[in-house]
Amino acid sequence: MKNSMTFIHAADLHLDSPFVGLKYLPTQLFEKMRESTFLAFSRLITFAIKEQVDFVLLSGDLYDGEERSLKAQLRLKKEFDRLHAAGIEVYVIHGNHDHLGGKWLDLEWPDNVHVFSSEHVEMKVFLKNGAPLAYIYGYSYPARSVTENMTAHYVKQDNASVYHIGMLHGSIEGNKEHDVYCPFKVNELINKDFDYWALGHIHKRQLLHENNPIIAYSGNIQGRHRKESGEKGFYLVEMNEEASTASFISAEEVIWADVEVSVEGLHNVSELIQQCEEIIGEIRQDRRSTCLTIEFTETGDLATSLETSQTVQDIMDALNDDEDDSSRFVWVVKILNKTHQHNENNPKLTSFFTDLHTTVENYHSFAEVTQPLMQHPIYRKYIEEFTLEEQQQLLKEAERLLHNELLKQSGVRDR
């Protein structure tokens, strides 16, 4: 009979992430952001020690780049030393960001840290009370890009008295939303007959398979931009012979959030700012530092005024004007104008807008539009491939701009 065990599954720490896009923040707030990845990881370690878990799994991208900073390594070592003092083992694979082909000043790690090979899939034995309790399988990237499906190399060793856990940094085969490294099929992982798959690379927390085995992306531990919104953290996994559970534990130091503010029924900018301030006040009650994106939506008297980018910028500056508390801040990082002008008197336009919306919803030729641009070396150098989400956002923005421009032009002609 196998003993029960608990462990933490985390990935994509991206320690010392530079947060380049937030350099415009006030100095105190920016420094808080720069420290956020370290503070989130320290929170994870504190939780591991408090719960006295058996071990910690880190499934790749511990650092933000291949030339990992000495600062990041020293902070990581400090946290690993804390685990060592508490008798907790750490198992590490390296991914595309922190692959083992990079350059850095290497440190000597404590004995509780086990790093998997970049030459082949390796199996390491976790011992509890002197007896094997888990076989842990993993593979570290030797270079930034590993496009081979590595699942065939994860071979389960013949021992029914232990748990079998796979660590893999990669993405589902055919996924177009992310760079595809170490592609795999979910069924391939299921067929390996492991008890748990600890995945990394995708920053969105998700369970690909809920049991027998659990196949999970823990996501990253700290959001770094507005597309990484919501709570971030890790899984606490509890296993026994009857069942396994993976419970999410939040760890982020700063949370990225999105809110919608309707302009329907608002008559001036003062009312709009007041409504935004009320929402910010409610968020502040949560007592978590927040990077906030506000979306202005619906239609109303203010829709035309919000068409100018300077107006939107002035509103954002007004909302951020008094924010100077770096310990628990709410900072508006972006305002998206999703409002549209209203038209009730032109049935032809109404029909056209219906057709326009249907066209956008069913558009599948985005690549054809960008193909000529992709032939240009400047485009290839500076523009990354658009994800499906980004394509949809661009199409929606194009629909909104067409909508409003047609209303303007029709209004001019009607006069």
Q: What integer pLDDT is reported at residue 17 of this predicted model? A: 95
d(CA 204, CA 230): 10
Q: What integer pLDDT is reported at residue 19 of this predicted model? A: 95
| Pair 124, 157: CB distance under 8 Å | no
Q: What integer pLDDT is reported at residue 296 of this predicted model? A: 96
Q: What integer pLDDT is reported at residue 136 of this predicted model? A: 98
What structural domains does the chain harbor? 5-250 (3.60.21.10), 254-342 (no CATH), 360-415 (no CATH)
| Pair 316, 251: CB distance under 8 Å | no
Q: What integer pLDDT is reported at residue 287 of this predicted model? A: 86
Q: What integer pLDDT is reported at residue 1 of this predicted model? A: 79
Q: What integer pLDDT is reported at residue 412 of this predicted model? A: 42
d(CA 306, CA 272): 11
Q: What integer pLDDT is reported at residue 304 of this predicted model? A: 85
Amino acid at 169: H
d(CA 19, CA 397): 26
Q: What integer pLDDT is reported at residue 239 of this predicted model? A: 97
pTM of the model: 0.83
Per-residue pLDDT tens digits of the chain, which is 415 residues long: 799 999 999 999 999 999 989 999 999 999 999 999 999 999 999 999 999 999 999 999 999 998 899 999 999 999 999 999 999 999 999 999 999 998 888 899 999 999 999 999 999 999 999 999 999 999 999 999 999 999 999 999 999 999 999 999 999 998 766 678 999 999 999 999 999 999 999 999 999 999 999 999 999 999 999 999 999 999 999 999 999 999 999 999 999 999 999 999 999 999 999 999 999 999 999 889 999 999 999 988 898 889 888 999 999 999 999 787 778 899 999 999 999 865 555 555 556 656 666 776 666 666 666 666 666 666 655 465 666 666 766 666 676 666 666 655 555 444 4
Q: What integer pLDDT is reported at residue 171 of this predicted model? A: 96
